[in-house]
């Protein structure tokens, strides 16, 4: 009897390992495709501010281009859930890879502000589809105690694409030129299609997308403060700080920055800094997911929002390069952790059949924040860098206090 019990336990462990491997494999495939698609989009946040004069763009036009895709997603997030339900996962997910490549190539083909704006709008739709596809894959593959880890893996691979975009984008643009960089990134985006055979028969969108979110759910009291925290975190980490990093470095340190005995161009340094943001996101997301599964997503999010506020306050100080880089590091690490934690909290708060709709609403709040972030250029014009960054630090602290109040009233979520 003991031998039979031991054999049963071994079979259960083997089944668990096989299931975990399949779940992780699907998440890796989906996130890798998205990583290739992100090359062009992520590089724009480093290159547009530094090449705007060559492209004949004003500072305001740069801010509008960087936020256009986010404003579009306020509508397309809802469409994405319905399109997955109607078209199926593979058709829609891999179809937008072609559109993503075309949007990236546009920045190599033209200087026209109108066409560039259209390309950014097209990318907004692509990202609605790609991101929701990733979230649905995690929720479909994940089980109790695994959602944080799989969400961490998903975002890790997502952001490795972003890291490569900004890191190599700055180097390629300095050596080959702005337009050639986007021809290369458009071609690399199409490499995501190589994963198409691996996804045969896989359809995480077959359930949970029938619930169509209504506009009143945008302000639903159950998730309002969670979504507001998402807005503020995205405003800072995905919008404001990424869009203004190049401007901050150029104003404080000039067109060339001396590091030791070497002189580095500001475009390359901006690429290094923003590449560091995506690199830390890629490296830390799986670790953050494990911490979230162990200590609770809401607790971890609260702690990291506090660190994010401190990092923004540090960047408000007109300090040397080392202190400035430390401020970026604190904001990037804390913001990454919050980005992993909040979707997990949303998934734990609503019923399984409501998750796609709830995540569409969550994504809309996040996109609103990331769309508003680049508009910080307008504040920079009359408040200056220090005062603007300090104002954003205060906003982060306020969102943390509101989320703390939510946590005290909703301990039953188990987070």
Query: pLDDT tens string for the chain (415 positions)?
Result: 445 444 434 433 433 443 455 777 888 888 889 999 999 998 998 888 888 888 888 878 887 888 788 788 888 888 887 788 788 778 888 889 999 999 999 998 988 899 999 999 999 999 999 998 888 888 776 555 576 788 888 888 887 888 888 888 888 888 888 899 999 999 999 988 887 776 665 666 554 444 555 545 545 566 788 889 999 999 998 888 888 888 888 888 777 777 777 888 877 788 788 777 777 777 888 888 888 888 888 889 999 999 999 999 999 888 888 888 899 999 989 998 998 889 888 877 777 667 777 788 888 888 888 778 877 777 877 788 888 899 999 999 999 998 888 888 765 544 4
What does the alpha-carbon distance between residue 236 and residue 230 come to, in Å, rounded to a whole number? 10
Q: Is 257 helix (H, G, I), strand (E, B) or coil?
A: strand
What does the alpha-carbon distance between residue 177 and residue 170 come to, in Å, rounded to a whole number? 10
| Cβ-based neighbour number of residue 250 at 10 Å | 17
Tokens of 27: 């998440």
Tokens of 348: 């734990």
Q: Position of tokens 């997955």?
A: 84
What does the alpha-carbon distance between residue 110 and residue 106 come to, in Å, rounded to a whole number? 6
pLDDT at 401: 92
- In sequence order, which ranges of 254-375 are alpha helices (DSSP H)? 266-295, 297-315, 321-349, 355-372
Residue 328: name the closest of 316, 340, 343 by CA. 316
- Whole-number Cα distances in Å, 78 to 39, 132, 364: 25, 10, 8
Q: Is 112 helix (H, G, I), strand (E, B) or coil?
A: coil
What does the alpha-carbon distance between residue 197 and residue 217 come to, in Å, rounded to a whole number? 37
The bridge status of strand 262-265 relative to strand 256-259 is: antiparallel
Q: Is 116 helix (H, G, I), strand (E, B) or coil?
A: helix
Query: CA geometry: angle at 380 spanning 375 and 385, to 5°?
Result: 125
Q: C-alpha 276: how far from its chain's center?
A: 14
Tokens of 176: 């080959």
pLDDT at 330: 92
What does the alpha-carbon distance between residue 233 and residue 308 come to, in Å, rounded to a whole number? 9
Q: Position of tokens 């599964």?
A: 293
pLDDT at 152: 85
Q: Is 316 helix (H, G, I), strand (E, B) or coil?
A: coil
What does the alpha-carbon distance between residue 123 and residue 165 come to, in Å, rounded to a whole number? 15
What does the alpha-carbon distance between residue 154 and residue 141 come to, in Å, rounded to a whole number? 12
What does the alpha-carbon distance between residue 346 and residue 203 come to, in Å, rounded to a whole number? 22
pLDDT at 37: 93
Residue 266 CB-density burial (10 A; 0-12 exposed, 13-18 middle, 19+ buried): buried
Residues 6+ apart with CB under 8 A from 356: 81, 84, 132, 136, 205, 208, 209, 211
The answer to whether 34 and 270 have CB atoms below 8 angstroms apart is: no
The answer to whether 290 and 147 have CB atoms below 8 angstroms apart is: no
Residues 6+ apart with CB under 8 A from 32: 157, 192, 195
Tokens of 92: 């829609």
The answer to whether 157 and 28 have CB atoms below 8 angstroms apart is: yes
What does the alpha-carbon distance between residue 69 and residue 79 come to, in Å, rounded to a whole number? 15
Most distant pair of Cα atoms in the chain: their distance:
79
Residue 84 CB-density burial (10 A; 0-12 exposed, 13-18 middle, 19+ buried): buried
pLDDT at 10: 41
- Indicate the class that CATH gives domain 22-190+217-413: mainly alpha
pLDDT at 12: 38
Tokens of 136: 């649905």
């Amino acid at each position: 009897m003991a031998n039979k019990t031991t054999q049963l336990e071994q079979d259960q462990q083997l089944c668990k390992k096989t299931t975990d491997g399949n779940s992780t494999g699907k998440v890796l495939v989906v996130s890798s495709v998205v990583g290739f698609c992100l090359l062009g989009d992520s590089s724009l946040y480093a290159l547009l501010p530094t090449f705007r004069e060559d492209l004949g763009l004003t500072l305001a036009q740069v801010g509008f281009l960087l936020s256009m895709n986010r404003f579009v997603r306020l509508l397309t997030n809802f469409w994405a859930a319905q399109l997955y339900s109607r078209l199926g996962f593979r058709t829609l997910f891999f179809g937008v890879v072609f559109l993503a490549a075309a949007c990236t190539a546009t920045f190599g083909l033209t200087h026209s502000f109108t066409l560039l704006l259209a390309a950014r709008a097209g990318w907004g739709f692509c990202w609605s589809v790609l991101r929701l596809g990733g979230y649905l894959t995690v929720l479909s593959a994940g089980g109790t105690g695994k959602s944080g880890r799989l969400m961490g893996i998903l975002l890790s691979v997502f952001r490795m694409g972003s890291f490569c975009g900004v890191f190599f984008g700055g180097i390629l643009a300095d050596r080959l030129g702005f337009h050639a960089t986007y021809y290369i990134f458009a071609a690399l985006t199409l490499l995501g299609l190589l994963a198409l055979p691996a996804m045969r028969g896989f359809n995480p969108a077959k359930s949970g997308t029938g619930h169509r979110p209504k506009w009143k759910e945008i302000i639903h009291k159950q998730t309002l403060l969670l979504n507001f925290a998402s807005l503020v975190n995205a405003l800072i980490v995905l919008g404001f700080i990424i869009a203004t990093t190049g401007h901050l470095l150029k104003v404080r340190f000039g067109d060339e920055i001396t590091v030791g005995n070497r002189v580095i161009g500001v475009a390359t340094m901006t690429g290094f800094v923003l590449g560091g943001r995506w690199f830390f996101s890629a490296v830390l997301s799986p670790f953050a997911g494990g911490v979230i599964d162990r200590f609770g997503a809401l607790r971890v999010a609260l702690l990291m929002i506090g660190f994010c506020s401190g990092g923004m306050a540090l960047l408000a100080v007109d300090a040397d390069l080392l202190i400035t880089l430390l401020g970026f590091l604190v904001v990037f690490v804390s913001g990454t952790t919050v980005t992993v934690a909040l979707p997990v909290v949303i998934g734990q708060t609503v019923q399984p059949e409501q998750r796609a709709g709830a995540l569409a609403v969550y994504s809309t709040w996040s996109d609103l924040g990331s769309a508003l972030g680049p508009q910080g250029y307008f504040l920079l014009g009359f408040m200056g860098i220090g005062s603007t960054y300090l104002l954003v630090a205060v906003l982060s602290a306020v969102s943390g206090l509101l989320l703390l109040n939510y946590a005290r009233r909703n301990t039953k979520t188990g987070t």
